[in-house]
Structure 1
Amino acid sequence: MQHRFKSESMRIIFIAILVAIAGEFKVTPFNGELFRIGLGSSTFLLLLLLMRQLPVIKTGIVVAATVLIFRMLSDLVTMDQFDWLVSSRKHCSAMLYYMVFAVGIRLIQQRLEKLHPLVLGICISVIDFVSNEFELLARSFVFHQPFIPSGQWMLIAVIAVIRSYFTIGLYSSITVSQMRIVHAEQQKRMEQMLSIGSGLYGEVFYIKKSMDAIEQITAKSYNLYCQLQSSGGKEFSRPFLEITQQIHEVKKDSQRILAGLMKLSDRETASELTLTEVVQFVVKSNYEYSAMLNKEVRMLEEMLTDYTTSHYIPLLTVLGNLVSNAVESIDRQGLIVIKVFEYRSETVLVVTDTGPGINEHDKDMIFKPGFTTKFNQEGVAATGIGLSHVWDIVSSYGGEIRLESDHKAFETSFIVRLPTVALKKGAS
């Protein structure tokens, strides 16, 4: 609580000093220095709008007192014969302006966020005009002058409107800039979540496959144990029973891991994305990947269909693998085209690159686990799980994938066909 009070007090003092300084940038619409129009009120309004959590009345009192003291000190420095009483009388009306202005803002404070900018501008123009009138009224009592020079009512009203709308416009610009920053940050986090989700989906998919394999191995090991038992080889059967038990423990551990990963990658609790958003995310992430590899890769999108889907994670995984493989296959510079369209009851995804292509004798092996044609500078092969991964995911949706490679045209295309009904929003 003490820290919060200290922070609030520091902000109020900061506002007060800034308003006092800004008030020195001024014009005098009437003869003499008794009434002037400066940037102080605009600064005060802007800071009140930006720091709405501050107590307005308290802030107004501190600002008013600070302005009075600041102007009296200014007189002390600039005047040859300084009189405290004369200086305080001269500037006390300005103090009244900020206090009245703060009261006016406090009256509409609860509705600031609900008011349309045009309506808010009218309200603040009225508050500014009334505050100026109180300042002029105070000066007329102190210096025994007419309340306001003849014919100057309209000038004060126009200045109030211009000053109010200028400040609101500046505030709106700052607010829009802040919203853009927040949106950019949210977009960045969304992209990070999509990358993590795509990676988790792949891990879950392969753990599920491993679970099936473990189940089969456990059954075969136990069957072998039973056969040895029945054939009289009991001295050999015991180790097989222990192996079966160990495999069963591995299966239970894998099930726990799988359960945790499935909670993180649960598609039913996720939102939906359009096909266009999926493609745009893949393009952006692979632009960054190509830059990391020091390659100049252009990417074109041809979206001939678009709809919302809750199955965007598998699509991201499929397209991400295909496009990243395309980036890796391109030597120094090239082009990747991602085309999406619907044909009959299927959604077709085509990824075409201008890399060197794939040899004819490798086409039958390209989707096999462990197969790769990519080696690093040390001659070490890549893992080769990308395309087999894509094959498995596509197959799980009842779709198919095929390769078209033309060495002469320097084009390689991967064509994925998926049932549209399995992808569209609401499909399970």
Structure 2
Amino acid sequence: MTKVKKRIEKLFVISMVTVFMGQIYLSPFSTTFRFSLGVVTLSLLLIYFKDISVITAANIVGIWVFLFRCFVYMVSHPSVSLEQVIPLYYPVGIFYILFGILFKILDIRNKLNRSIVFTASLWFCDSVSNMVEVFLRKEMGVYSFERVILAIILIGMIRAVFTIYIYHGVSYYKDRYDREQREKKYRELVLLIANLKAELFFLRKSTLDIENAMNKSYDLYEKLEQSTLRDEALLVAKDIHEIKKDYIRVVTGIEKTLQEENASLLMSIEEIFKIIKGNTQKFIDIQNKNIILRFKYKNDFKISQFYPLISILNNLIINSIESLEDVGVITVTEKIDGENCVLQVQDNGSGIEEEDIDLVFEPGFSTKFDRITGEMSTGIGLTHVMHIVENHFNGKISVESEKNKKTVFTITIPMKTII
């Protein structure tokens, strides 16, 4: 029942759109015969709604066009009777019905990939149907038969070419839109995986910290002599051990979900910058800030460790955006210095106090807060960045800042760990 309802709705759309587009027309012979955009519209809709019967759609359109034009004529000429109007407009109904029959016989829907054949077939349908309509009307105004036929052929060719151009134009922009949407989803997915992998690095570190805490608790249990304290220390060690097992299950689950990428999967610096820029621009728009993003690279090369690198740069750029009030410039650069890849993220925001520079990478340290709620930031972003740079890439990160002038984060990563 649902399929039948959808088909009825589609037939209604085809009929109504064709009827109203049929009101855009030329009357070259000073008679009721007209060349309209209705046939172009019908052709495109028959191509688009492939599950609709061509014959059924053409018959319904023919009836609706006939009834609509009769109605409009009678409203504008109240003294005219229905018997007088029918002979004026029944030929247009025949035109659409015959057009649909020829459209089906020539199988035009399956000729879309052959533009010349498609255009010639549609031209034939249009011209023959119009010739039949003119013959039924038996009126050509002051023009000769040859001139009318020539006009029908020329207009048929124009409408056929117009139709194929519209079809290819719409197809081009639709494909372009679909491609942009796929690229958008890909960028979002890459950034999501990069963030998850960054969290995974921290979870691994926490697992080691928990292991150390458990060992210290057990050592304390063995050293204590008072039985009550020994029992309590043992319970603490057991609790930590349970937490460790839970952490390991979480880490294993994430690692299984984010299976290590194939070693052959690479991404260039240019591609990394494009992904980050696309996602960051959306964040800037949401913040209603006027921030210019600049990405510059001297050496474009492909790397395998692109997920953690994206996470690092994304964290630093977001940090820069949050340090800017309403306007500013953020510049991300890349270059190769000897055996190292050097990345810099620079902004002209509020900067960092001199006494705070040594603390910015400490867990929990933050000078940012939500102006609406007053809640302080977690202060974990830069700690994440430092952990990935030092423990995953065996690199180093430093920061330079001038209050209310600029802040520059410099990341130095050995090329052997990034490629």
Provide the TM-score with structure 2 as the length reference.
0.82
Unaligned stretches of 5+ in structure 2? none
Whole-angstrom CA distance in 2 between matches of 1:123 and 1:180: 28
The answer on 1:164 being equivalent to 2:160 is yes
More displaced 10-residue stretch of structure 1: 266-275 or 64-73: 266-275
Q: CA deviation at 1:211?
A: 0.8
Q: CA deviation at 1:59?
A: 0.5
Residue type of the alignment partner of 1:340: E
Residue type of the alignment partner of 2:202: Y
Residue 104 of structure 1 corresponds to: 102
Whole-angstrom CA distance in 2 between matches of 1:127 and 1:272: 53
1:83-126: CA deviation from partner (whole Å, max 9, x where unpaired): 63x6545444323322232233333355255334x553333223
Whole-angstrom CA distance in 1 between matches of 2:335 and 2:301: 11
The answer on 1:414 being equivalent to 2:409 is yes
Q: Secondary structure at the match of 2:145?
A: coil
Question: Residues 157 and 202 from structure 1, CA distance in 2 versus in 1: closer, same or farther, beyond 3 angstroms?
Answer: same
Taking only aligned residues, the RMSD between alpha carbons, in angstroms, comes to 3.7
Whole-angstrom CA distance in 1 between matches of 2:383 and 2:362: 6
Task: Tell whether the 8 Å contact from 2:395 to 2:412 is kept in structure 1 after alignment.
Answer: yes
* Mapping of residues 129-144 of structure 1, within 5 Å: 129-139=127-137
Residue 386 of structure 1 corresponds to: 381
Whole-angstrom CA distance in 2 between matches of 1:110 and 1:169: 15
The answer on 1:11 being equivalent to 2:10 is yes
Question: Residues 286 and 88 from structure 1, CA distance in 2 versus in 1: closer, same or farther, beyond 3 angstroms?
Answer: closer
Q: CA deviation at 1:28?
A: 3.2
1:222-241: CA deviation from partner (whole Å, max 9, x where unpaired): 3444555xxx6555433333
Aligned match of 1:196 in 192, 198, 209? 192
Q: CA deviation at 1:382?
A: 4.0
Task: Tell whether the 8 Å contact from 2:111 to 2:117 is kept in structure 1 after alignment.
Answer: no
Q: Secondary structure at the match of 1:348?
A: strand
Residue 127 of structure 1 corresponds to: 125
Whole-angstrom CA distance in 1 between matches of 2:95 and 2:335: 66
Residue 254 of structure 1 corresponds to: 247
Residue type of the alignment partner of 1:353: D
Whole-angstrom CA distance in 2 between matches of 1:398 and 1:13: 63
Question: Residues 267 and 93 from structure 1, CA distance in 2 versus in 1: closer, same or farther, beyond 3 angstroms?
Answer: farther
Question: Residues 325 and 80 from structure 1, CA distance in 2 versus in 1: closer, same or farther, beyond 3 angstroms?
Answer: closer
Q: Secondary structure at the match of 2:146?
A: coil
Residue type of the alignment partner of 2:154: V
Task: Tell whether the 8 Å contact from 2:188 to 2:279 is kept in structure 1 after alignment.
Answer: no
More displaced 10-residue stretch of structure 1: 179-188 or 380-389: 179-188
Q: CA deviation at 1:209?
A: 0.9
* Mapping of residues 251-400 of structure 1, within 5 Å: 251-266=244-259, 268=261, 273-287=267-281, 289=283, 296-330=290-324, 333-355=327-349, 357-358=351-352, 362-372=356-366, 374=368, 382-400=377-395
Residue type of the alignment partner of 1:218: M
The answer on 1:153 being equivalent to 2:149 is yes
More displaced 10-residue stretch of structure 1: 281-290 or 148-157: 281-290
Q: Secondary structure at the match of 1:7?
A: helix
Residue type of the alignment partner of 1:334: G
Whole-angstrom CA distance in 2 between matches of 1:14 and 1:332: 48
Number of aligned pairs?
Answer: 413
Task: Tell whether the 8 Å contact from 2:47 to 2:109 is kept in structure 1 after alignment.
Answer: no
Q: Secondary structure at the match of 1:350?
A: strand
Q: CA deviation at 1:43?
A: 2.2
More displaced 10-residue stretch of structure 1: 296-305 or 69-78: 69-78
Q: Secondary structure at the match of 1:45?
A: helix
